[in-house]
């Protein structure tokens, strides 16, 4: 019973995120390109927002990964949020036209295969 409830909650959350991403994603970092990620990191408020967005995005992907793949928590391989932010900074500096979500997904896939 609990698994069925968890799957329903995960499905509802996924649908919510897909439907609201165009609205909130552009205002925050998910819908932005990497050039915007690098530029926004120059102000303290935007830097904090970027870090919080990345933490939430990675946590959400990880939760779905653990729930549905029955594999180990991929984020256990990370010691701090700063490591993920640094990875994203480097990725976005090298790929300024890519979407921030593309970089975050690539980071997660890299962690998941380790």
Q: For the chain, what's the residue count?
A: 114
- Predicted confidence at residue 79, as pLDDT, reads 92
Cα–Cα distance, 44 to 28 (Å, whole number): 14
- Predicted confidence at residue 57, as pLDDT, reads 92
Kindly report the backbone phi and psi dihedral angles of residue 67, in degrees, each rounded to the nearest multiple of 5, phi listed first: -65, -45
pLDDT of 81-99, one tens digit each?
Answer: 999 999 999 999 999 999 9
Q: Cα separations (Å) of 63 from 5, 34, 57, 68? A: 15, 24, 10, 9
Q: What is the domain partition of the chain in residue ranges? A: 2-113
Cα–Cα distance, 5 to 52 (Å, whole number): 27
pLDDT of 32-86, one tens digit each?
Answer: 888 888 887 666 657 788 888 899 999 999 998 888 888 889 999 899 999 999 9
Is the confidence at residue 25, as pLDDT, over 80?
no
Q: Closest by alpha carbon to 59, among 25, 21, 104?
A: 104
Cα–Cα distance, 51 to 73 (Å, whole number): 20
Give mean pLDDT, residues 8-23: 53
């Amino acid at each position: 019973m609990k698994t069925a409830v968890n799957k329903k909650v995960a499905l509802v959350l996924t649908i919510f995120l897909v439907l609201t991403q165009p609205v909130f994603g552009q205002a925050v970092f998910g819908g932005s390109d990497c050039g915007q990620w690098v530029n926004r990191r120059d102000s303290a408020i935007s830097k904090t927002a970027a870090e919080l967005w990345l933490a939430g995005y990675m946590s959400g992907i990880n939760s779905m990964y653990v729930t549905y793949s029955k594999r180990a928590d991929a984020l256990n391989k990370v010691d701090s949020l700063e490591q993920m932010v640094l990875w994203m900074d480097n990725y976005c500096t090298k790929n300024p036209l890519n979407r921030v979500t593309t970089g975050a997904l690539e980071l997660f896939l890299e962690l998941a295969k380790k």
